[in-house]
Amino acid sequence: MPLVVRAFPLRGSLTDLHQFAAELKGRRAGDAARFYRHYGVERESWHLQHTAAGPWVIAVTELADPVEAAPRFADATEAFHLWNKSQVEA
């Protein structure tokens, strides 16, 4: 499966990032699993890179068809999808 690697500066705090991850693994785990299946995600990992400009998050996603998934994600309007986008963009 293709890998998509994204890197972006952490805009919020490390605490916010940890809370987001805890939500995905805890109370919103079922929604997260359905979300990943919807886009054909096989695996995803996040890595924190400390730089002179501050922390960066590097996300590595293994998914079936990144070309097909990207516009679907951009156009998504389901509640969990919107919440996920708001967390990632914060």
Q: Chain-wide mean pLDDT for the chain?
A: 93
Mean pLDDT on 21-50: 95
pLDDT at 53 over 80: yes
At 9, which CATH number?
3.30.70
Per-residue pLDDT, 70? 87
Per-residue pLDDT, 89? 80
- How many domains does the structure of the chain reveal? 1
Mean pLDDT on 57-71: 92
With 0-12 CB in 10 A as exposed, 13-18 as middle and 19+ as buried, what is 36?
middle
Return the percentage of the chain with pLDDT > 90, whole number.
83
**Domain span including residue 35:** 3-89
Phi, psi of 11 (to 5 degrees): -85, -35
Mean pLDDT on 1-7: 92
